[in-house]
Chain A
Amino acid sequence: MKYRGKVIVTLKPGVFDPQGVTIRNALHTLSFREVEEVKAGKYLEIILESENCSQAEKRIQEMCDQLLSNPVIESYSYQLEEIKN
């Protein structure tokens, strides 16, 4: 079966995010004064073959732990969906 994992990697709370600050400032310049905070992160879409959903989930978690996120500064979340032909 084919699955699509949608992984979102974000900085942990309290880790300084200069990208987010710069984007927030740019939004303020564009008069979006209501913006209080912007957090920048990464979005990764992973298509994988797997026997079943729980196996795919396990593999996605391993990928996140070993490579896609750096546990010192980042945390991750993901969604998994089956790709039907």
Chain B
Amino acid sequence: MKFGIVVFPGSDCGYDCHHVLSQVLEAETVFIWHGDKNLKNCDCVVLPGGFSYGDYLRAGALARFSPVMEAVKEFAENGGLVIGICNGFQVLTEAGILPGAFLPNRGGRFICRHVYLRVENNQTPFTLLFAPGEVIKIPIAHQQGNFFIDSPHQEEVKKHIVFRYCGPQGEIDSRYNPNGSWENVAGIVSREGNILGIMPHPERAAEEILGSEDGRRVFLSVIKWWEDKKWK
């Protein structure tokens, strides 16, 4: 299977994703320029973290008008696998591909540290190698990670929560909510389950030397899901 990593001006985590996918997992991986109008026949598209368009106006607001986003939207609507990490998640919400919006962190500060996440749903292409309720450790690095959803859409989105911020034992509590996100949300999938938005950075937790290998399984899940599908 082939991964494509979209490069927006200002996205600086694309190379980390490329390293993990191509070097650590030895998967075919290409970069897709934001000005491109096709996705180079990729099977999974990654919108990486960073500061696309300098976070001007609102984080992710300008990236959504890149030519490549038309193709990403069409790909996603046709069931293609899409992962938006951090700023990539913000881009997906701004583009209306995933619901919700991001506000500045509750404490007003940029936060960069490891956090615990609880896997709320392992029946997705991105989490099938996790146990239900498993607690994993993945770093966050954001200023606007405070996930907001307006009340008419809360019931619907609740069904699609995949990762929640938690304590070391999996406790869901406001104490373990680093940024004030609604329902401790750290990651959600689309209604059909083929699009993942995740605020923490799995690509920064894919090698032992970096303190955690838990993030690796997000990408390995995708590869396994793809291989299994091929044999069906």
Contact = CB atoms under 8 A, between A and B. Distances in A.
B145 to A, nearest CB: 12
Chain B interface residue number, banded: 10 to 19
Interface string A8-43: 000100011111011000000000000000000010
A77 interface: no
Chain A interface residue number, banded: 10 to 19
A2 B133 CA distance: 60
B100 A72 contact: yes
A72 B101 contact: yes
Q: Is the interface of B mostly helix, strand, loop or mixed?
A: loop
Interface in B123-150: 146, 148-150
A28 to B, nearest CB: 15
A18 B107 contact: yes
A70 B101 CA distance: 8
A67 B94 CA distance: 9
Nearest to B151: A14
Nearest to B153: A72
Given A15-B148, A16-B180, A22-B108, A73 B61 contact: no
B108 A19 contact: yes
Interface string B53-90: 00001100100010000000000000000000000000
12 contacts: A11-B103, A16-B103, A18-B103, A18-B105, A18-B106, A18-B108, A19-B104, A22-B108, A70-B58, A70-B61, A73-B101, A73-B103
Interface of B: 57-58, 61, 65, 93-94, 100-101, 103-108, 146, 148-150, 180
Given A11-B103, A73-B101, 20 more contacts: A16-B103, A16-B148, A16-B180, A18-B103, A18-B104, A18-B105, A18-B106, A18-B107, A18-B108, A19-B108, A22-B108, A67-B57, A70-B58, A70-B61, A70-B94, A70-B101, A72-B100, A72-B101, A72-B148, A73-B103
